[in-house]
A and B are shown apart, each in its own frame.
Chain A
Amino acid sequence: MIEVKGLTKFYKQIRAIEDVSFTVEKGDIVGFLGPNGAGKTTTMKIITGFMPPDSGTAKVAGFDVFENPMEVKRRIGYLPENPPLYNDMTVNDYLRFVAEIKGIESKKIGEETDRVSESCGIKEVRKRLIAHLSKGFRQRVGIAQAILGNPEIVIFDEPTIGLDPNQVFEVRSLIKELAREKTIILSTHILPEVEMTCRKVIVIHKGHIVAKEHIEDLLRRRTKISEMTVRVKRFSIELMKQIKDRFDVKVNQPPEMDNGFNIIFESPEDKREEIAKYIVDSGFGLLEFRPVTLSLEDVFRELTTEEKTA
């Protein structure tokens, strides 16, 4: 569906992306994950035909973005980082306008705007001026705009940024809903967002792609079973010592943790069951025993360092 090869883009002297290649299959939901400034938006802007790359090609549904921009634009719905809204228009007028410039037949415009307002939950604000909408509604109008005309591919640039937790939840469920019938690319710098909505993930860092994998693989990377966190009710330094000696593992206590510590296994042997049993039996009051989860930054660090050594 989307085929990107060797994209490179410089802004003046600054490299935004370099040699970015990936493919997205029909029906995929791909998360485009990376910290701010990694080149996510640049890549998306190139795929949508907003700007050309300095080198490389992007093909959407078999059409080259720069030889056949109109064909590509007809097939993509795009929600930029800032929803492209006209404050002086009502939601209804705005949707009608977008429907018109997307080339939807006049007869079907009413039906189409009804459909997207329904699925994005903006029916009750349709007569309101966009300037008066809350951030959450603005975002939803932005999404409604992107899915007008039922494009095969929908691209969302940071769709949940700046929303409150409830709104974030709603927008994510909306995207999941869409994912049933569309190919979706979604960019974010929030790891759980990708976990919750996407099936595949492309990790981009400093303009380079550092990983392309299924979400399960990323999750596996993220949870290190070789390192466990223990929290107990009655913590004493004694427990750490006992575990260290008994099970031949490394222990360390991060400074911010006052009722627990981390256990680092050095051999591949799985000792988790025995350790758990031991802590419970010796009456320290086990509260928590879980694999250490890496933060996004740690994942990046791991991914980027791995690339280098490979």
Chain B
Amino acid sequence: MRNILAIFKKEFKIYFDTPVAYVIFGIFSLISGYFFLQIFSYFQRQSLQFLQYQAPQMLEHMNLNDMVMRPLFLNINVFFLLMIPVITMRLIADEKRLKTYELLMTTPVSTWQIVIGKYLASLSVILAMVLIVFIYPILLSFFGSEGGLSTGSIEWMPLITSGLGLFLAGAAFAALGIFASSLTESQIISAIVAFGLLLLFWVIGWASAGAEGVLKEVLRYLSILEHLDQFTKGLIEIKDVIYYFSVIFFGLFLTQQSVSSQRWR
């Protein structure tokens, strides 16, 4: 446990003492802010339209949770797919490049401890990103109800499940990312491999459109972006949670195997 903490602290320091984390947060805020602005102004235009056409039954569907926050989370999920390989790319690859790998492998630390410590550090960055997303509903809760629209109130429970879901999705991406990082000493290759893996896990779901029966379900289930949907509706479904945890375990297991097998080559 102490070793995991030591590795975690070191990685955390490198993320937060160097500009890395802040650049990531900056870009992430910029892009997610843009998403938010676009989705929100679309929502606003639609609400006004419905108001003009006196369509109260349509207006009932217009609430901030479903029409703003949900699409925001789903979009950010896709954006995570691009960002997380960048967060995880240096974790193991850079140790190899700097030859500090030899230090880690010749001190009494197990490969599991190294992998877990590093992984947890990347989760801290992802957690911070999820928290950044919560700036938007907080803004909405202050300013969303202005103008007397009955639609302007926020329900927090679905947002919390969405946040949890997004974090789990990020954690699953990071587990594949750290695996990619363990394969090479080049950060660029690491990022590209992680990106490829994640993309593959996404597009595998597309095949379900042409498939039938069990295969269709399996392909859908494998798709990595599929599983946030229920979370954003405020539902925590066990199958989604199991999915994320399996990907995390799978990724970390492969990483551990890859790190310890390096000694044998």
Contact = CB atoms under 8 A, between A and B. Distances in A.
A73 B108 contact: yes
A107 B27 CA distance: 41
A84 interface: yes
A89 B9 CA distance: 12
Contacts of B9: 97, 100
Interface stretch (B10-18, B40-48, B219-227, B235-243): B10-18
B104 A49 contact: no
A76 B106 contact: yes
Nearest to A87: B98
A78 B109 contact: no
Interface in A16-55: 45, 48-52
A80 interface: yes
Interface in B108-146: 108-110
Contacts of A87: 98
Contacts of A250: none
B54 interface: no
A78 B106 contact: yes
B13 A89 contact: yes
A100 B3 contact: yes
Interface in B72-125: 98-110
A195 interface: no
Q: Is the interface of A mostly helix, strand, loop or mixed?
A: loop
Contacts of A249: none
Contact of B100 (A70, A74, A84, A102): A84
B124 to A, nearest CB: 16
Nearest to B113: A101
B98 A84 contact: yes
Nearest to B5: A100
A86 to B, nearest CB: 6
Given A52-B263, A52-B264, A88-B14, A101 B98 contact: no
Interface of B: 2-3, 5-7, 9-10, 13-14, 17-18, 98-110, 263-264
Interface of A: 45, 48-52, 70, 73-74, 76, 78, 80-82, 84-89, 93, 97-98, 100-103, 145
- Shortest 8 CB-CB distances between A and B: which pairs? A100-B6, A84-B103, A84-B100, A82-B99, A73-B108, A48-B106, A80-B102, A101-B107
30 contacts: A48-B106, A49-B106, A51-B263, A52-B263, A70-B110, A74-B108, A78-B103, A80-B103, A84-B98, A84-B101, A84-B103, A86-B14, A86-B98, A86-B100, A88-B14, A88-B17, A89-B13, A93-B10, A97-B6, A98-B103, A98-B107, A100-B6, A100-B9, A101-B3, A101-B6, A101-B7, A101-B107, A101-B108, A101-B109, A102-B107
